[in-house]
Amino acid sequence: MVAKRAYNSSRSEGVDLLDENNEMIDVQGFLLKDCQAMSKELMEQAKLRAAELQQKLEVGKRLLLDALQEEKEILINDGAMTPQAYTISVQCMTGPYQGRMFTMEIDRQRHSSCFVGRSTGKKFRSPRGLSMPKDSELSTSHAEIKMETSGKLFLIDLDSTNGTRIENVDLEANEPYELIISKPIKVEIGAGKYEFKFEKKA
């Protein structure tokens, strides 16, 4: 009788242990399924987020390319509107060269300066400069006409002995004076008076 009770007790304990194992397996299975479901959900969210980021990247890329194209067109238009070169006609009104006409050429690229003086050096020769050796009141290197990349023109007195005057205004030495070229400009240098005309080159 004792042996039978012991057997029954052992059997009962075995059943309880089996039930516990089954419950543990069920919990592990549930947790595993839950983790798998969460992992799948996270993967789906990650894919959606990646797709959103890719879409935003494409939009940003298009906006940047459009902005660059617009900036390029503006620069091209500005370049087309900015004068590239001028022919400068110099009419001698008084002085040793009275009645003579000289021409100079200036541009933004290769020859952005024209020099005026008594010198016969290369940079003073037409069409890159204006050489007037007969005018004893003119300094060897008297003045410079300079064209900036903006297309604006300036005349600079190169610290000459007798100075330079434009439209009755005495220029300060080495100070650029902007030329308003919409009409002829009256310039006094050395012993002569001159009329400068500027014609835009195509």
| DSSP character string of 93-148 | -SSTTTT-EEEEEEESSS--EEEEES--SGGGSTTTEEE-TT-TTS-TT-EEEEE-
| % of the chain surpassing 70 pLDDT | 81
φ/ψ bin of 20: left (φ > 0), alpha (ψ from -120 to 50), beta (otherwise): alpha
Rounded CA-CA distance 64/3 in Å is 89
Q: What is the pLDDT of residues 87-135, one digit of tens each?
A: 999 999 999 999 999 999 999 888 999 999 999 999 999 999 999 999 9
Q: Which CATH class is domain 85-200?
A: mainly beta
Among the residue ranges 52-66, 78-92, 103-117, the one predicted with the least confidence is 78-92
The contacts of residue 101 (CB under 8 Å, 6+ apart) are 89, 90, 91, 92
pTM here is 0.60
